[in-house]
């Protein structure tokens, strides 16, 4: 799956998404169906006019603008549909 913010591999049999890139930064992490749902709900509930900070690779911060947060939300929707 090559989204705008997230890239990685969907494994529908285990309900896992393995993240290989976040905003073009290489990483290696897995999202379960539950964690992907939780992240999606959190983004929906928060006011993201200021953007948000996420961390990859044991704490490396990456800032997402409000428009990038919307792209992340779309990526998560796509992942959730595949899981």
In terms of residue numbers, what domain contains 63? Answer: 6-82
In a domain? residue 16: yes
In a domain? residue 55: yes
Mind listing the pLDDT tens digit for each residue in 29-49?
999 999 999 999 999 888 767
The pair phi, psi for residue 60, each rounded to 5°, is: -75, 115
Reported as a pLDDT band with limits 50, 70 and 90, residue 21 is very high
In a domain? residue 76: yes
In a domain? residue 1: no
Retrieve residue 70's tokens. 């919307």
Single pTM value for the model? 0.89
Question: d(Cα 23, Cα 5) in Å, to the nearest integer?
Answer: 5
For the chain, what is the domain count? 1
């Amino acid at each position: 799956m090559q989204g705008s913010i997230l890239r990685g591999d969907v494994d529908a049999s285990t309900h896992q998404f393995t993240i290989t890139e976040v905003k073009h930064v290489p990483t290696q992490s897995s999202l379960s169906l539950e964690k992907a749902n939780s992240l999606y709900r959190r983004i929906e509930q928060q006011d993201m006019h200021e953007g948000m900070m996420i961390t990859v690779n044991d704490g490396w911060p990456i800032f997402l603008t409000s428009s990038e947060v919307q792209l992340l939300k779309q990526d998560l929707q796509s992942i959730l549909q595949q899981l």
